[in-house]
Amino acid sequence: MKIGIVGLGLMGASFAKGFPQYHVIGYDQQPAVMKQAFDDGVIREQASSIESLIDQSDWILVCLYPLATKEFFITHKDRFKPGQIISDIAGVKALFEDLVPNDGVDYIFIHPIAGRAKIGYQNHDVTMFKGANCIITTAPFNQASNLAIVEGLLKELGFGNVSRMTMKEHDQRIAYTSQLTHAIAVGLMNSAKDLAFAPIIGDSYRDLTRIARINEVMWSELFVLNQEALTAELDDFIHQMVTLRNALSQSNQTELEEILKRSRIKREQLP
């Protein structure tokens, strides 16, 4: 099996490195990155062009930002060949809802719930997939055998739970579990008036702001692409914070205890 990986940044290079048993062809718009990946043994072959990568690959994994990924699908639609599976790793899927492959080609959209705070090829790290959750969004055109192939490849990489759901459900759930979470970390970090508090932080502050070191270009794109669902989640969360704030300002310790207890019980139920 030949795997073509487009984009050798943090994610693309991590995927490439995870498939040493396959012939991985890599492409990156920066020739120096592509050469480095080849020299490091992360890919077996440098693609001479995107077209050459497309023509040779059984599975094409596009590891670009969401809008660039969609552009890739549109630009190369008529170059894809029957039997090929084309996948992406974008964190939102609504933008792909109008994409339908030509006969015999399959698009299988995946979202690895894994990442690292630092971006770029040099930070690639295949261990990020170990035991991580992953989502495959399903479309009416998907062939069951292709879904099984992609799921198998993801399991080979070490992913734990691979869930299947529609694109719409994906975007709604991700708005809460991932996007709201990142927005909150940003809000907490931006609430800091100065950094004089650094010597007194604990694990809780460190944990909540780890992802405040955010890739602003990619995440602002993801946020806007999932505007409706994320706005609704932000509104719900802000409402929770205002409720807590008001109980506090009224010194209503009974209500505060209720709010905190609800949180504790929910968290204890999470596996």
Pick out residues in 210-239 that bind a second copy (CB under 8 A): 210-217, 219-221, 223-224, 227, 230-231, 233-238
Spell out the residues 6+ positions from residue 84 whose beta carbon is closer than 8 angstroms to its own: 54, 57, 58, 59, 60, 105, 106
Residue 72 C-beta: closest distance to a second copy, Å: 20
Pick out residues in 128-187 that bind a second copy (CB under 8 A): 132-133, 135, 161, 163, 173-174, 176-178, 180-187
Looking at the Cβ atoms of 18 and 112, the one nearer to a second copy is 112
Distance CA 68, CA 34 (A): 18
Residue 4 C-beta: closest distance to a second copy, Å: 26
Spell out the residues 6+ positions from residue 216 whose beta carbon is closer than 8 angstroms to its own: none
Pick out residues in 237-256 that bind a second copy (CB under 8 A): 237-238, 240-242, 244-245, 248-249, 251, 253, 256
Neighbours of 210 (CB within 10 A): 10
Contact 135, 111 (CB under 8 A): yes
Looking at the Cβ atoms of 98 and 266, the one nearer to a second copy is 266
Identify the DSSP state of 211. G
Give the count of alpha carbons within 13 A of 50, CB side only: 17
Among the candidate windows 10-18, 27-35, 94-102, 205-213, which touches a second copy by CB under 8 A?
205-213
Tell me if 1 contacts a second copy by CB under 8 A. Answer: no
Contact 8, 37 (CB under 8 A): yes
Looking at the Cβ atoms of 39 and 236, the one nearer to a second copy is 236
Looking at the Cβ atoms of 75 and 240, the one nearer to a second copy is 240
How many residues of this chain bind a second copy (CB under 8 A)?
Answer: 86
Tell me if 50 contacts a second copy by CB under 8 A. Answer: no
Helix spans in 131-226 (H): 144-157, 167-174, 181-190, 203-209, 216-225
